[in-house]
Amino acid sequence: MKYSALSLLRAGLGGHKDWPRAWRDPEPKSHYDVILIGGGGHGLTTAFYLAAAHGVKNVAVLERSWIGGGNTGRNTTIVRSNYRLPQLHALMELSLKRWEGMSDEINYNVMFSQRGALFLGHSDSDMLQLAQKGDAMRADGIDAELMTRDQVARLIPLLDVSAGARYPVQGGLIQRRGGTARHDAVAWGYARAADRLGVDIIQNCEVTGMDITSGRITGVQTTRGAIGADRVGIAVAGNSGRVAAMADLKLPIESHLLQAFVSEPVKPMIDTVIMTQSLHCYISQSDKGEIVLGGDPDAYPTYSQRGAPHIIEKAAAEALALVPALSRLRMLRSWAGTTDMSFDGSPFIDATPVEGLYFNGGWCYGGFKATPGSGWLFAHLLARGESHPVAAPFRLDRFETGHTMDEPGVGPMPQNR
């Protein structure tokens, strides 16, 4: 059923009792053209674009628990394309353009809100760096505006821009097309849209092994039996190393964790995404009214999805210094996601040495914003067997060949991100 104002009205008159389920709950078939391991945003968008853009409809998404229960539901929902390097501009802007048409494309309101994503500058060198980044973005056709301190103060009246502020604000760089989206809706919307095109979304189905015969993948072993496939895509960020190990592959990835936390809901007080990279703290307000806060990764390998309090304390202290009005808010909950930390901070969308097995991962703590672009590019790779030009630089062997993409400019160690 197509969601519309009319369908809402009709269901409302019937007391909302007759909504059909949003996607089927199929039994796995014995064979698929393409199997995607991982039912998060990236796996679901890949499945959707395989069916919608490439006509490959005999596709299954295998999810070990429920869809969107991993990092898709654990991020701070920020969407932006304000990067420094041209390869990342191409990738993230392709993604941002898909965000702009997403709700129409999948007939599901993902509540994408282009409220502006602002990087604060706290020093002369910050402002120089932001000006360089803004120039680089505009040169690649992406919107960016350098702002003075007064402009920032007018945009965010609650920000402490006084001379005595703990973190003095000199100005900022805003991408007005950046913003936030409803993260769960992205998983649900793409699942529903892919399902309507014939994709099987199979939850509670954990992949436990891969069937590889003379260097070629023929299928996967799962907790619901063996399933054959011509091609298999891995999109399990956080657990990439564990899944790749089933094919005897070692990846340039460590699994770390990133925490986030939210306050009790309050009336609208911050209508922009505030970020600061020299402090590393980001602040936004959800549509429910919660203040959403995030900070540094915990910076050591862990699968625990459970972070240390001193990291939260640092992010909270920075947020309070920037927006003193937050001081009376009580925090409702905190959580952590397992992040695929690559060695240069950039992701991988590439074939693996096993024929028919493809890999998408290494998104560090920035995968949510890339969700539709990642799916678009991974679907291209899975359907055609060759990389889309935008995905071509994101190779698995780029460290061996010296073609790293060190966006933050901090060298090849994941804990430095």
Partner 1 sequence: MMLIPCPHCGPRAHAEFTFDRPVEAITRPDDTADALVRNLFSRDNPRGHSRELWRHTYGCRAWIALTRDTATHAITDVQAWGAKA
Residues in touch with partner 1 (CB under 8 A): 239-242, 245, 250-255, 299-304, 306, 308-310, 343, 399-400, 412-413, 415
Cα(255)–Cα(120) distance, integer angstroms: 29
Looking at the Cβ atoms of 50 and 257, the one nearer to partner 1 is: 257
Identify which of residues 252 and 294 has a Cβ nearer to partner 1 in the complex. 252
- Nearest C-alpha neighbor of 369 from the set 67, 88, 132: 88
Task: Write out the H or E segment, with its range, that includes residue 281.
Answer: strand 281-285
Beta carbon of residue 298, minimum distance to partner 1 (angstroms, whole number): 9
Kindly state the smallest distance separating residue 230's Cβ from partner 1, in Å.
Answer: 27
Q: Are residues 129 and 137 in contact, defined by beta-carbon separation less than 8 angstroms?
A: no
Q: How far is the CB of 235 from partner 1 (least distance, A)?
A: 17
In the complex with partner 1, the residue whose CB is nearer, 8 or 245, is 245
CA distance 340 to 346: 10
CA–CA distances in Å: residue 229 to residues 32, 43, 232, 380: 5, 16, 7, 17
Residue 278 gets which letter from DSSP? T
Q: How far is the CB of 403 from partner 1 (least distance, A)?
A: 12
Q: Nearer Cβ to partner 1, position 167 or 399?
A: 399
Is the sign of the CA dihedral 166, 409, 379, 212 positive or negative?
Answer: negative
- 300/279 Cα distance (integer angstroms): 19
Contact 261, 293 (CB under 8 A): yes
| 3-state SS, residue 37 | strand
The residue among 288 and 306 lying less far from partner 1, judged by its C-beta, is: 306
**What residues contact residue 205 under an 8 Å CB cut-off, 6+ apart?**
28, 62, 63, 64, 222, 223, 224
CB nearer to partner 1: give 124 or 400.
Answer: 400
Contacts of 93 (CB under 8 A, 6+ apart): 81, 140, 141, 142
Closest distance to partner 1 from the beta carbon of 398 (Å): 9
CB 41, min distance to partner 1, A: 22
CA–centroid distance for 136 within its chain: 23
Provide, rounded to whole angstroms, the least separation between the CB of residue 218 and partner 1.
25
Shortest reach from residue 412's CB to partner 1, in Å: 7
Nearer to partner 1 among residue 190 and residue 343 (C-beta): 343
For partner 1, which is the closer residue by CB, 60 or 234? 234
Q: How many CB atoms lie within 10 A of CB 2?
A: 7
